[in-house]
Amino acid sequence: MKRRDLVIATGTTLAGCVESNSEGGGENATAGASAARSDESAAESREAETGNPWGAGAVVVAVEQDVDARSGFVELVREGLEYWERNAGTYAGYGIEYALRANADDPDVLVRLVDSIDECGDVGHEDDIAGCAPLVEDVAPDDVTVEIVDGYGDEPTLAVVKHEIGHTLGLDHDDEPKDVMSNDAADRIADYEEKREVLARYGEAIDRGNEGMEHWNDAIDEWEQEEFDGAAVRFEDARGRFDEQTDRLVEAVEAAERIDAAEAAAACDESRRVSELEVEMAASMREAAEEADAGDYDAADDCVEKANEARAEAEAYEFVEGDVVADALGLPDAD
């Protein structure tokens, strides 16, 4: 969901722009108040406590980043672990304690941040996999690896961390809590359908804007060749598409405001301001081409100046990319 580049006109004279199927490093820290168990007691405790595949004592968790270091990832892992320290007794049937030691050499659980996951169990590469972890039901293996795909915002990344850690506690996609463990995003994400509506309107806006840019760039080509009659038609086509883009962005703002998604509404509204100025630019350049075609070059220059004033004002804002809006909505991606 990307915008194309807009070729901006000219001076002021006429001489001649997953849904995912499942839901680094840093300083050492402890999730909760737990102390790490020793290597010697770990193996014994895993066998000693019926119903708890991890046994007694704290489960040591390390963090590894296979991609460029992402600021705050360790804290997201910590938050996910603390969620299960509070809730494992209710949903997994036993309590759990974690010791988050990001750089531990021989942890019980290694959480890895990766670029992508090609396969996870029976989930193949044709699916957009955001995370992968083994389902631990009986005795926990000596080491468990949890993979989390980089590239999402903090909220969806945290959701993936909690989901995958839930698998290491024996919870599957049909288990409670649905807002964490379900494989259906509508269960995991509040106001999911409404948020998808916001993103859909935003995607339609970008599509209309990209069509407008194609007409605009064609118009610039004709303008520079002094084919003013054809340029006027192309500029009007661009204006129409930018106008449709603006309408979609207004709908996206209103839809975001209905669910109190303030950050997403603000992003959509900033893009709306840019879009309205693009409408002004295209309308002014259409008038410029019409005046030039009629031979009134002074009037045409005035219209070009208005277009460039709108351009300068537009540069004070940013047309936000779709993935930024998706992050603001807490959705995993903008596709």
The two most distant CA atoms of the chain are separated, in Å, by 93
- Tens digits of residue pLDDT in 15-62: 322 333 333 333 333 343 233 333 444 444 444 444 789 988 899 999
Q: 3-class SS at 224?
A: helix
Helix (H, G, I), strand (E, B) or coil at 218: helix
pLDDT for the residue 330: 82
Query: What contacts 331, CB < 8 A, 6 or more positions away?
Result: 156, 185, 189, 195, 196, 199
Side by side, the strands of the sheet bearing 131-132 are 98-100, 59-65, 109-114, 144-149, 131-132
Least confident range of 19-23, 63-67, 264-268: 19-23
β-bridge pairing 59-65 and 98-100: parallel
Residue 201, pLDDT > 90, answer yes
pLDDT for 3 equals 54
Please give the average per-residue pLDDT across 265-269, as a whole number.
97
147, 37 contact by CB (below 8 A): no
Whether 123 has a pLDDT exceeding 60, the answer reads: no
> Quick one: average pLDDT of 163-187?
90
Alpha helices in the chain (DSSP H): 39-48, 73-91, 154-168, 178-181, 185-188, 192-224, 228-258, 262-293, 297-314, 322-329
pLDDT at position 51 is: 77
Reported as a pLDDT band with limits 50, 70 and 90, residue 177 is very high
CATH number of this structure's domain 39-182: 3.40.390
pLDDT for position 2? 62
Helix (H) or strand (E) holding 148: strand 144-149
DSSP string for residues in 79-105: HHHHHHHHHHHHHTSS---EEE-TT-S
pLDDT at position 332: 65
Segment among 15-19, 264-268, 306-310 with least mean pLDDT = 15-19
The two structure tokens encoding residue 221: 């080509």
Residue 61 bridge partners (DSSP): 100, 109
pTM value > 0.95: no
Every domain of the chain and the residues it spans: 39-182, 192-329
